[in-house]
Structures are given as structure tokens and as C-alpha cells.
């Protein structure tokens, strides 16, 4: 191909369902804006511009701008008959689902930056480093959510992980912080290695790394060989397992969760909040994307594949939730407790993915209900709704931890005794977040859980094992009550010891308003359910 032809393709050369490079670049605009703001931040420090304009403004404006662009893309999708397209020659995909997650992540980024501004965690000196790491991680996560190729999958995960390692160790003076970062790195490297091995196995056997091609190739491999006994099929299963290890690491699923409590304990609470929501959301987006494309149309061998994947994930979900909840119970440090709670919540969310795969496995084989076609999107709607509520309730909890730390220099639950007497705003908002994390109506967490459990219940029609998953989910909700409410009880019902460090915060100060906004959203999402659930359902439909 000569230069002219290349250039022509660059401008307009649409292959079927693939956007040209120019169009790809416009679609990629939110990520580009974020990248530009990173560059700007670094250049600003070079020319000492950051003495005049604080760095967080660059990050905040960059985040907002990319959120607005994503919103615009969403609006474009809703209004015109835009169809999903593959961008950058099929490496990534642009559909409602990826837009939903990109919007989610940029929105979250804005909230995290606002929080760090309020708590003052990177000081002026470190701000450019911190915010470029933060924005970089978000770009990685956005890539994860729109990945359409195994290569992109790996790059996305690594791009999200590497800045996370650095941010975990951001409190350079603190031994615990550096240690946590190192553990995180070692662990992450191990998981990435296993995953890369899995990816190369899969690519080698199936001869493609394109998500959309995986299902037909697998069927072809399955048909040309003697079924499950054949080494090729086994290799596929092993490769998938190894890729799953990478996901398990990102989602901190048992037994690949060890980094999580240590990292959260060592990292500043703001970073903890960021990791617990952001990387989880991106990893779920990617997991859902990969598994649904593997499940394909659920015919023949794919049905069996997606059923066994679903049941396996269900089993891991049970173990993870139970483990997280039981281990959280005996924690004294609130960040450690929240780390285990994050593990448990990853388990709940994994139940939705498990239900989805189990439901997909009978897409064409059996039709037992009129609205059966809706079951898959419904499960996804549950996951997306849960993630949105989770954003607010978890961020709220971490924000309150950070704000209290700024005044008491303590993150032990015992030091929270009787805070309701001194800072009722924080105590009430914390109680709201905790109640929502348990899943008590009428808070958002309840509806998230209700949606997920409803789709697990639907999945019980397909396989009896989902009853076990459902029961485990219910039982775990009860167990989780103990440790969440302990925090609320300590803050609201105990009396503040006389020698405790006093905490003060006016109800109209900006940190208090921030916390009220976040926990207000938790309440809001528990009362006004319809708009968000509709958007979530709309995004979920893009996958099917």
C-alpha cells in the first residue's frame, strides 16, 4: 500500500463496522483530553506555572471536560441511529456499554479529584505527580472498558495497575505505605505474568485475539476435535483460567485478594477509595465484555462453556463474599475493614456476572418464559446499578475516613467513638453509607442488591447451583450487618472519651457539603430508581 492509499484510509477508509482512524480519534477524544491535561500538568511544573495555578485545576478541568465529551457521545448515541463501531482497526469498541463506563470513570475521577483537593492529600510539591498518575490510571481503566482485543485487555489492565502501584506508595515517608506498594507490585507482576501466559495460549490456539472472533473460533476448534477430551479444548480451558487469574487479581477475588487489605491499609484513604471503585468498575466492564463475547450466542459447545464459566464464577463469588465479610468482622483499622468490605462487594457483583453467564447459556436451547430475552440485560442492569451506588457509598465512606484522619491522625475504629456529638454531619453520612453498604432500604445499596439477587433468582431456573449462590448472598448480607453497623454504632451511640482528640467541622464547610452530596446521592438512588436503571438497561443492551 502506498502512502496515498494509507492516507485515504486514514481519512475515510471505513471497513465494515470499523471506524476510520480519524473517526477513531474523535471517539477517543475523552482519553485524549485527559492525556493532554497530564502533559499540561507536567509542563506547567517545568515552567513553574503551578505556583500560579494550582495543579488540581488542570486535573479537575480535564476530568470535567472529558466527562462532558462522554456525555455528548452518549447523547449522540441516544438521539441518532449511531451504531456501535470498532475503533482503531478493531482494538477497541465504541458502544453504549463502553460509553457508560467511560462516563462512570470520568465522573468518578472528578469526584476523587475534588476529594483530594478538600483533604489536601498531595501537597503542592507532589500534586503534578499525583494527578498525572490518577489521570493515567483512569485512561487505563477507560481503555479496559472499551477493549475489544486481548492485547488491549492486557495493555488496559497494566496501564491502570502501574499508576495504582505508585499511588499506593505515595506517602513516601511512611514505611507501611512503601511496603504496601511493593507487595502490590510483586503480586500484580505475578498475576500479570500468569494472565499474559493465558492470553498467549488462547491466541495461539484460536488464532485470533479479537473478542468478536473468539466464540466462532472456539466453536470451530470444538467441532474439529473430539470435544472436551481433546488437548486443544483443554488448553483453551486452562488459558481462560489463567486469564481469569488476572481478573481475580484486579477484582481481589479469593484466593487472589491478599494484596488488597495491605494495600488499602498502607495507601492514603483517598487512593483506597479510588482503587476500590475505579479499578473494580473497569475490571467488571472488561470481564463482562470478555465473557459475553466468549459465550457468543450460547449455541452448542458455547452453551456448555458459558454455563461452566458462570458456575465457576458463582463458586468464586460465594467464597469471596463469605471470606470478605468474615474477615472484615475482626478488623480494628477502618481502612482494612473497608478493604475486606471491598472484597465482599466484588463477590456480590460477581454474582451478577455469574447469573448473566448462566442465563446466557440457555439463550437458544430453552425458552421457558416470555421475557426470557430480557434476562441477560436485566442481570447487567443490576451490576451497573450496583456499581453506580457503590461509587457513592464507598467513596463517601473513604472520604469521611480521610476527613477524620486529617484531624485525629487515626484510622482506628475505636477512635471514632462518639463522633456524632462533635461532628454530627460526618456521623450521619457515615451511617448512611454503612447502611447502604449492608443493603438496607430505602438506600441505594438495597436496590443494587435487589436487582442482582433478582437475576440470580432468575438463573435458578437454569441450574440448581444458583440457589446456593442466592442463599450465600442473603446470608452474607446478614453477616455484613455486624461489622458495618459496628462503625455506625461506635460513631453515633458511644460517648466520646474525654481525652480524645476533638474533631470539628461546620455543616456548611465544603468538606461537609461534599460528604453530604455523596451520601445524599446514596439516598437519592434509593428513592428515585427509574432514570438510572433505564440508562443502565440501555447500556446493557449494547452487549446482546
Partner 1 sequence: MTNWLNENILWLIPAAPLLACLWIVLVGQVIGRKYAHRPLVLGLAVSLAASLYLLTVVVPHGFGHDEHESSHSVMTTVYQWIKIGTIDVPVTLRADAMSALMLTMVTSVSLLVAIFASSYMKGDPGYPRFFAAMSLFVFSMCMLVLAGNFLLLFVFWEAVGLCSYLLIGFWFHKPSAAAAAKKAFVVNRIGDFGLILGIFLIWQTFGTLDFAALFESPKLIDGILAGQPDILHWICILLFIGAVGKSAQFPLQVWLPDAMEGPTPVSALIHAATMVTAGVYLVARCTPFFVHAPYVQMTVAGIGAATALIAAITALTQYDLKRVLAYSTVSQLGYMFMSLGAAGGGEGLALHAVTFAMFHMFTHAFFKAVLFLSAGSVMHAMGDVIDMRRFSGLRKALPITHWTFLAGALALAGVPLLSGFWSKDEILAVLAAASREGEHAGFYGIILAIALLTSLMTAFYTFRAYFMTFWGEEKFPEEAGHHPHDAPPAMAVPLAILAVAALGIGLMTGPTHLYGHYLHHTPGLPHADEFPIDWLMMGISSILAAVGIGTAYQLYVVSPKIVENLQRRLSLAYQASQNGLYIDWFGYKFIAAPLRGLAAICEFVDRWVIDALVDCVGFIPGLFGSIIRPIQNGMVQNYAAVMMLGLVVCLISVLRVLVETH
- Which positions ≥6 away from 119 have C-beta within 8 Å? 269, 270, 399, 402, 403, 406, 511
Closest distance to partner 1 from the beta carbon of 337 (Å): 12
Q: Rank residues 262 and 270 by Cβ distance to partner 1 and give the closer one.
A: 262
Site map (CB under 8 A) of partner 1, residues 47-86, x = contact: ----------------------------------------
| Interface region with partner 1, contact rule CB under 8 A, candidates 12-20, 99-107, 133-141, 238-246 | 238-246
Among 529, 535, 542, 543, binds partner 1 (CB under 8 A): 529
End-to-end Cα distance, the chain: 36
Other CB atoms within 10 Å distance of the CB of residue 24: 19
Q: Rounded distance, CA 267 to CA 351, Å?
A: 28
Q: Are 363 and 376 in contact (CB under 8 A)?
A: yes
Query: 276: closest CA among 250, 299, 240, 254?
Result: 250
Asked whether position 376 contacts partner 1 by CB under 8 A, the answer is no
Query: From its phi and psi, is residue 409 left (phi > 0), alpha (psi between -120 and 50) or beta?
Result: left
Q: Which residues contact 382 (CB under 8 A, 6 or more apart)?
A: 352, 448, 451, 452, 454, 455
Binding to partner 1 by residue 228, rule CB under 8 A? yes
Pairing of strands 85-87, 92-94: antiparallel
Specify the DSSP element, H or E, that contains 87: strand 85-87
Query: In the range 479-508, which residues lie near partner 1 by CB under 8 A?
Result: 479, 482-483
Pick the piece of the chain touching partner 1 (CB under 8 A) from 76-84, 209-217, 248-256, 488-496. Answer: 248-256
Per CB under 8 A, the list member of 17, 330, 364, 510 interacting with partner 1 is: 330
CA proximity to 538, closest of 13, 96, 11: 96
Distance, in Å, from the CA atom of 261 to the CA atom of 240, rounded to the nearest integer, reads 27
Select the span of 283-291, 394-402, 419-427, 443-451 touching partner 1 (CB under 8 A). Answer: 443-451
Shortest Å distance, C-beta 304 to partner 1: 8
Structural element, H or E, at residue 85: strand 85-87
Q: How many residues bind partner 1 (CB under 8 A)?
A: 45
Query: Rounded CA gap, 429 and 467, in Å?
Result: 35
Cβ atoms of residues 503 and 422 within 8 Å: yes
332 binds partner 1 (CB under 8 A): no
Write the binding mask 279 to 318 for partner 1: x where contact by CB under 8 A, - elsewhere: -------------------------x---x---x------
CB of 22 vs partner 1, minimal distance in Å: 41
Q: In this chain, which stretch among 24-32, 89-97, 189-197, 492-500 interacts with partner 1, using CB under 8 A?
A: 189-197
Nearest distance from C-beta of residue 474 to partner 1, angstroms: 14
The answer to whether the beta carbons of residues 23 and 84 sit under 8 Å apart is: no
Q: Are 77 and 8 in contact (CB under 8 A)?
A: no
Residue placing its CB nearer to partner 1 in the complex, 71 or 182: 182
Least distance in angstroms from the C-beta of 419 to partner 1? 23
Only segment of 101-109, 132-140, 181-189, 341-349 that touches partner 1 (CB under 8 A): 181-189
Q: Dihedral, CA atoms, 216, 219, 221, 223, nearest 10 degrees?
A: -140
CA dist 320 and 345 (Å) reads: 9
Judged by CB under 8 A, the residue of 144, 150, 327, 540 near partner 1 is 327
Among 48, 81, 229, 504, binds partner 1 (CB under 8 A): 229
What phi, psi does 122 have (nearest 5°)?
-80, 130
Comparison of 101 and 447: residue with beta carbon closer to partner 1: 447
Choose one: 35-43, 119-127, 140-148, 320-328; the region binding partner 1 (CB under 8 A): 320-328
Interacting residue with partner 1 among 190, 216, 418, 424 (CB under 8 A):
190
d(CA 115, CA 110): 9
| In the block, residue with C-alpha cell 458511644 | 494
- Binding segment for partner 1 (CB under 8 A), chosen from 129-137, 200-208, 253-261, 359-367, is 253-261
From 74, 108, 259, 435, residue interacting with partner 1 (rule: CB under 8 A): 259
Among 86, 262, 411, 415, indicate the residue that binds partner 1 (CB under 8 A): 262
Closest among 277, 223, 225 to 392, alpha carbons compared: 277
Of positions 58, 97, 256, 484, contacts partner 1 by CB under 8 A: 256
- Applying CB under 8 A, the residues found at the interface with partner 1 are 179, 182-183, 186-187, 190-191, 194, 227-229, 233-234, 237-238, 241, 245, 254-256, 258-259, 261-262, 304, 308, 312, 323, 325-327, 329-330, 378, 447, 450-451, 454, 458, 479, 482-483, 529-530, 533
Amino acid at each position: 500500500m502506498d502512502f496515498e492509499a494509507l492516507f485515504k484510509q486514514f481519512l475515510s477508509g471505513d471497513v465494515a463496522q470499523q471506524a476510520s482512524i480519524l473517526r477513531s480519534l474523535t471517539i477517543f477524544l475523552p482519553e485524549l483530553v485527559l492525556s493532554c491535561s497530564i502533559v499540561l500538568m507536567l509542563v506547567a511544573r517545568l515552567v513553574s506555572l503551578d505556583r500560579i495555578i494550582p495543579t488540581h485545576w488542570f486535573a479537575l478541568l480535564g476530568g470535567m471536560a472529558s466527562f462532558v465529551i462522554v456525555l455528548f457521545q452518549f447523547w449522540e448515541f441516544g438521539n441518532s441511529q449511531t451504531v456501535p463501531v470498532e475503533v482503531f482497526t478493531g482494538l477497541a469498541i465504541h458502544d453504549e456499554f463502553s460509553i457508560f463506563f467511560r462516563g462512570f470513570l470520568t465522573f468518578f475521577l472528578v469526584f476523587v479529584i475534588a476529594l483530594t483537593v478538600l483533604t489536601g492529600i498531595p501537597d503542592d510539591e507532589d500534586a503534578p505527580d499525583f494527578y498525572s498518575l490518577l489521570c493515567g490510571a483512569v485512561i487505563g481503566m477507560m481503555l479496559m472498558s472499551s477493549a475489544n482485543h486481548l492485547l488491549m485487555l492486557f495493555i488496559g489492565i497494566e496501564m491502570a495497575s502501574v499508576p495504582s502501584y505508585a499511588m499506593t506508595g505515595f506517602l513516601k515517608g511512611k514505611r507501611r505505605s512503601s511496603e504496601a506498594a511493593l507487595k502490590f507490585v510483586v503480586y500484580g507482576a505475578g498475576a500479570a505474568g500468569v494472565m499474559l501466559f493465558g492470553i498467549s495460549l488462547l491466541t495461539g490456539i484460536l488464532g485470533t485475539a479479537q473478542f468478536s472472533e473468539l466464540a466462532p473460533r472456539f466453536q470451530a476448534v470444538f467441532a474439529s476435535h473430539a470435544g472436551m477430551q481433546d488437548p486443544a479444548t483443554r488448553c483453551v480451558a486452562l488459558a481462560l483460567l489463567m486469564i481469569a487469574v488476572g481478573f481475580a487479581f484486579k477484582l481481589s477475588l479469593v484466593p487472589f485478594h491478599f494484596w488488597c487489605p495491605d494495600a488499602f491499609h498502607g495507601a492514603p484513604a483517598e487512593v483506597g477509595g479510588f482503587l476500590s471503585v475505579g479499578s473494580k468498575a473497569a475490571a467488571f466492564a472488561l470481564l463482562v465484555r470478555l465473557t459475553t463475547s466468549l459465550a457468543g450466542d450460547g449455541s452448542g459447545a458455547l452453551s456448555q462453556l458459558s454455563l461452566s464459566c458462570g458456575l465457576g464464577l458463582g463458586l468464586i463469588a460465594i467464597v469471596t463474599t463469605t471470606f470478605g465479610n468474615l474477615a472484615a468482622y475482626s478488623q480494628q483499622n477502618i481502612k482494612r475493614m473497608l478493604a475486606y468490605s471491598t472484597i465482599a462487594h466484588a463477590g456480590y457483583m460477581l454474582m451478577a456476572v455469574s447469573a448473566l453467564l448462566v442465563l446466557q447459556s440457555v439463550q437458544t436451547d430453552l425458552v421457558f418464559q416470555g421475557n426470557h430475552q430480557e434476562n441477560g440485560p436485566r442481570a447487567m442492569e443490576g451490576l451497573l446499578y450496583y456499581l453506580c451506588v457503590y461509587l457513592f457509598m464507598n467513596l463517601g465512606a473513604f472520604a469521611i475516613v480521610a476527613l477524620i484522619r486529617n484531624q485525629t491522625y487515626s484510622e482506628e475504629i475505636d477512635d471514632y467513638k462518639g463522633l456524632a456529638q462533635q461532628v454530627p454531619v460526618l456521623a450521619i453520612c457515615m451511617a448512611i453509607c454503612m447502611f447502604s453498604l449492608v443493603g438496607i432500604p430505602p438506600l441505594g445499596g438495597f436496590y443494587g442488591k435487589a436487582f442482582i439477587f433478582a437475576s440470580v433468582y432468575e438463573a435458578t431456573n437454569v441450574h440448581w447451583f444458583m440457589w446456593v449462590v442466592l442463599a450465600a448472598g442473603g446470608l452474607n448480607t446478614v453477616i455484613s450487618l455486624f461489622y458495618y453497623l459496628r462503625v455506625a454504632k461506635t460513631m453515633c451511640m458511644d460517648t466520646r472519651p474525654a481525652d480524645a482528640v476533638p474533631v470539628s467541622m461546620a455543616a456548611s464547610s465544603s468538606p461537609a457539603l461534599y460528604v453530604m452530596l455523596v451520601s445524599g446521592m446514596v439516598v437519592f438512588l434509593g428513592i428515585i430508581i427509574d432514570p438510572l436503571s433505564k440508562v443502565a438497561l440501555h447500556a446493557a443492551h449494547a452487549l446482546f
